[in-house]
Structure 1
């Protein structure tokens, strides 16, 4: 009976140690994934668009814009670079849907960035767009 008790205790201790090690390992992995990207990684995983001029939804107004698109990995960056004309078309159609008043409002640029991020994510097969930033913005 004593040997059986010792075996049970050893099995329980091994299980507790194993579960504890797995928990610590998963915490360490999760914290390393949440770490913000370095400046070099951001440059490596982002694309700058050309300067784009397009009409706006309001009469006689146009916008001159440029964007920085941050992507989640190198394969997504490669796919996005191969779809340059589609990205450009998505940008033009999104910007053209805004009026001058909407774009220059308090939340105009943030709304544009959000809509463009969603539209580009729908377009991609691999990975996703982390964020879109307006890097040049002129409205006339």
Structure 2
């Protein structure tokens, strides 16, 4: 009777571990599939900002920039379109924290895009910003 009980416990444990592993990998796969957007979907869920001119942190320098903001769903896009003035204010305040040297450095634009993605995600209630890309960039 003792051997039967041990074998039964081992079979139950192996089954639980197997089911748990299958669940984990199925969840990981489905979330990866949700993230992959086609080019058409990306265009549908993106917003281009106006061209924005703002002063930089370094004296007598300014930047002329434009961004493409990709969102994860249609509700997030609608919310972002309604919050245009808040988006512009977030962009201007973020850029104003950079110097000319910061922006023209190797990682300057990437840092700007990352900061804007984080700041815009904090604003949104109905979705997330997938990425922010600089589509026009001039520093004087």
Indicate the SS of the match to 1:78: helix
Change (3 A) 1:30 1:54: closer
Cα drift, residue 110 of structure 1: 0.3
| Structure 2 match to 1:113 | 113
Deviation sequence 1:114-138 (CA, Å, 0-9, x none)? 1111110111111111100000000
- Which residues of structure 1 form unaligned runs of 5+? 1-11
| Structure 1 match to 2:91 | 91
Give the structure-1-normalised TM-score: 0.79
- Between the aligned partners of 1:135 and 1:111, the Cα distance in structure 2 is 15
Indicate the SS of the match to 1:127: coil
Cα drift, residue 38 of structure 1: 0.9
Change (3 A) 1:82 1:60: same
Cα drift, residue 32 of structure 1: 2.7
- Which residues of structure 2 form unaligned runs of 5+? 1-11
Change (3 A) 1:74 1:58: same
* Structure with larger Rg: 1
1:42-53 equivalences under 5 Å are 42-53=42-53
Deviation sequence 1:21-56 (CA, Å, 0-9, x none)? x75x9366345324x211100000110000000010
| Structure 2 match to 1:32 | 33
Indicate the SS of the match to 2:137: strand
- Between the aligned partners of 1:104 and 1:31, the Cα distance in structure 2 is 34
Give the structure-2-normalised TM-score: 0.79
Q: Count the aligned residue pairs.
A: 123
Deviation sequence 1:54-97 (CA, Å, 0-9, x none)? 01010110000000000010000000000000000000110111
Q: Which runs of 4+ in 1 moved over 4 A?
A: none
